[in-house]
Amino acid sequence: MKPVSLEQEINPWEAQSARFDVAARKLNLDEGLVKVLRYPSRELIVHIPVSMDNGNIEVFTGFRVQHSIARGPAKGGVRYGPDVTLDEVRALAAWMTWKCAVVNIPFGGAKGGIICDPHHMSPGELERMTRRYTAELIEFIGPEKDVPAPDMNTNEQTMAWMMDTYSMHMRQTVTAVVTGKPINIGGSRGRREATGRGIMITCDEAIKKFGLRPENTRVIVQGFGNVGSNAALLMHQAGYKIIGIIEVDGALFNKNGIDLTALWKHREQNRSITGFAGADKADPAELMLTECEILVPAATENQITSRNAAKIKCRILAEGANGPTTAAADEILADNKVFVIPDILCNAGGVTTSYFEWVQDRQGYFWKEPVVNERLEDIMVSAFDDVVRYANTHNVNNRIAAYMLAIDRVAYTVRQRGIYA
Ligand code: NAD
C-alpha cells in the first residue's frame, strides 16, 4: 500500500476506498463495474431550521447518502455529532452496502447524519430537529426506498419521532420506514442488544479457532454505549472475563473480571462508568494496548491507526464500531497475526435484526425473542464461516475477504439487473 498522510489515513472515505480497491482488483472486476460500485448512487445535503428553546433560530446541516440500492432498499443509521462530515457519512453508507451483502440480507446501504452537539440540546430541540430532518427526506426514504435506524447519539426515541413524522406526511402509520423503534410501536424484540449479541456470536466462533473457552478469554471493550455495553454484558453473562472498559471520561480495569451487571447499575445511577467500586481506574490509551485475548473497539472510527497498531496486544480484534481500524493499521495487524473480525461482519447483528424488524412490521406479526436470537445466530455464524472460508481460499486477510465476498454479491446483482443500462 502507498504511504499516506495521517489526515488521509483517518479519512473514513479513504479508508473504505482503500479496502474496496484492493478487493475489487483481486476479484478482477471489469473497470466499468468498479466505477458503478465505488461511488454512492445519491447524496443529499439538507439545511434544517430549528427554533431553539431560547427563542433563537438555528440552522443545522444534515446528510443522507444512499450508496447502493442494487440488492434492496437502502439501509443505514443516522448519527448526530459535532464532527459528522459528508465523507464520513459516505463511507458509512458504503460500509452498509458491504455489510448487508456479507450477511446476505436484501438491503442496499445508506447512512445519515446531522452536524450538531446533541449533548447540549434539550429533548424538545432534538425532537424538532429530527422531525424537520425527516420531513426534508420525505421523498427519499420509505419502507421500499431507504430505511433509517439509530447510530451514534440517536436512539429508539429518535426513531419514534422519525416514524411519526413520516407517517404524518403519508396520512397513515408506516412503522417499517425506520428500524430500532420502541417495541410497542413496531420495534423488534432483541433489536436493542442485537449488535452486541452479534459481536459475541462472532467471538464465540473465533475463540474456537484458538482453542479458547469464554472462561479463559480476557476481553477489553472500548465504548460503553449501545453496542459496547450490550456486548460486554452479554459476553460477561456467557462466561467471558471482561477485564477492561474504556470510555471517553475514563477507563476501568480488573484483572479478575468486572461484574458487568453491577457496572450497568452503576452507569444507570451515575450516567458514567467512572467511580465504579468493582474495578481500578485506568488510563484509556494504555488500556487499549493491554494484553488480552479479545479487544472490542465499539466506540468510533480510527482508534487503531499506524501510530498504535504495532502495540496492540490482543489475539482477536472484534470490530464493534464502524471503521475503528485504518487501512494502514490492517497491514501491521496482519504482520502481527491478529485475527480481525472486520466491522462489516462483526457488527452486522444490528442490521440483521433491523431486517427482522422490517419483515415483522410488514407482516404485522411479531416474533418471540428466542426466535429473533436464534435466526440472528444462524445468519451470523454462516456469515462468519463464509468470510473465513473466503479468506483461506483466496489467501487474503479476513477484512479483504469480507469486502471481496460482499462486492462479488453486489456486483452479481448489478450485472444481472443491468443497472448501468
Ligand atoms: P453510542 O452513542 O450509543 O455509544 C458510543 C459510546 O462510545 C459512547 O458511550 C461514547 O461516550 C463512547 N466513545 C466515543 N468516543 C470514544 C473514545 N474515543 N473512547 C472511548 N469511548 C468513546 O453509539 P453506538 O450505537 O454504541 O455505536 C458505536 C459504534 O458502533 C459506532 O461506530 C456505530 O456506527 C457502530 N454501530 C452501531 C450499531 C447500533 O446498532 N447502534 C450497529 C452497528 C455499528
What confidence score (pLDDT) does residue 419 get?
83
Query: 121 pLDDT band (50/70/90 cuts)?
Result: very high
Pocket of ligand 1 (CB under 6 A): 150-153, 195, 222-228, 246-248, 298-300, 320-322, 347, 350
Residue 89 and residue 96: Cα distance in Å, rounded? 10
Q: Give the number of other Cβ atoms within 10 Å of residue 264's Cβ.
A: 17
Under 8 Å between Cβ of 112 and 74: no
**Average pLDDT rounded to a whole number, residues 245-256:** 97
Residue 209 and residue 153: Cα distance in Å, rounded? 35
End-to-end CA distance of the chain: 34
**Average pLDDT rounded to a whole number, residues 417-421:** 83
C-alpha 114 to ligand 1 mean position (Å): 16
**Average pLDDT rounded to a whole number, residues 366-391:** 98
- Residue given cell 440500492 in the structure block: 69
Q: What dihedral angle (degrees, nearest 10) is formed by the CA atoms of 91, 96, 102, 106?
A: -150
Judged against a pLDDT cut of 80, whether residue 318 lies above it is answered with yes
> Which atom in ligand 1 lies closest to the alpha carbon of residue 347?
43
**Average pLDDT rounded to a whole number, residues 13-37:** 95
What per-residue string of b and e applies to 149-171 under the rule 16 or more CB within 10 Å gives b?
bbbbbbebebbbbbbbbbeeeee
Task: Give the residue whose CA is nearest to atom 35 of ligand 1.
Answer: 321
C-alpha 105 to ligand 1 mean position (Å): 23
> Which atom in ligand 1 lies closest to the alpha carbon of residue 228?
26
Task: Give the residue whose CA is nearest to atom 11 of ligand 1.
Answer: 248
What confidence score (pLDDT) does residue 420 get?
78
Long-range pairs of 380-385 with CB within 8 A, sequence gap ≥ 24: 380/103, 380/198, 380/201, 380/202, 380/348, 380/349, 380/352, 381/201, 381/205, 382/104, 383/102, 383/103, 383/104, 383/345, 383/348, 384/201, 384/202, 384/205, 384/206, 384/341, 384/345, 385/205
Phi, psi angle pair for 51, to nearest 5°: -85, 120
Nearest to 142 by CA among 209, 85, 87, 69: 69
Sequence-distant (≥ 6) Cβ neighbours of residue 359 within 8 angstroms = none
Strand partners, 21: none
> Which atom in ligand 1 lies closest to the alpha carbon of residue 324?
32
Q: Which of 99, 111, 181, 241 is catalytic?
A: 111
What confidence score (pLDDT) does residue 1 get?
57
Judged against a pLDDT cut of 60, whether residue 260 lies above it is answered with yes
Cell readout for 357 is 424488524
Judged against a pLDDT cut of 80, whether residue 89 lies above it is answered with yes
Residue 367 and residue 348: Cα distance in Å, rounded? 20
**Average pLDDT rounded to a whole number, residues 270-296:** 97
Residue 213 and residue 4: Cα distance in Å, rounded? 39
**Average pLDDT rounded to a whole number, residues 150-162:** 97
**Average pLDDT rounded to a whole number, residues 305-334:** 97
- Residue given cell 461482519 in the structure block: 345
Judged against a pLDDT cut of 60, whether residue 359 lies above it is answered with yes
What confidence score (pLDDT) does residue 2 get?
60
Report percent pLDDT > 90 for the chain.
97
Does 111 qualify as catalytic in the annotation?
yes
Task: Please state the pTM of the whole predicted model.
Answer: 0.97
C-alpha 153 to ligand 1 mean position (Å): 8
Task: Give the residue whose CA is nearest to atom 41 of ligand 1.
Answer: 151
Task: Give the residue whose CA is nearest to atom 5 of ligand 1.
Answer: 225
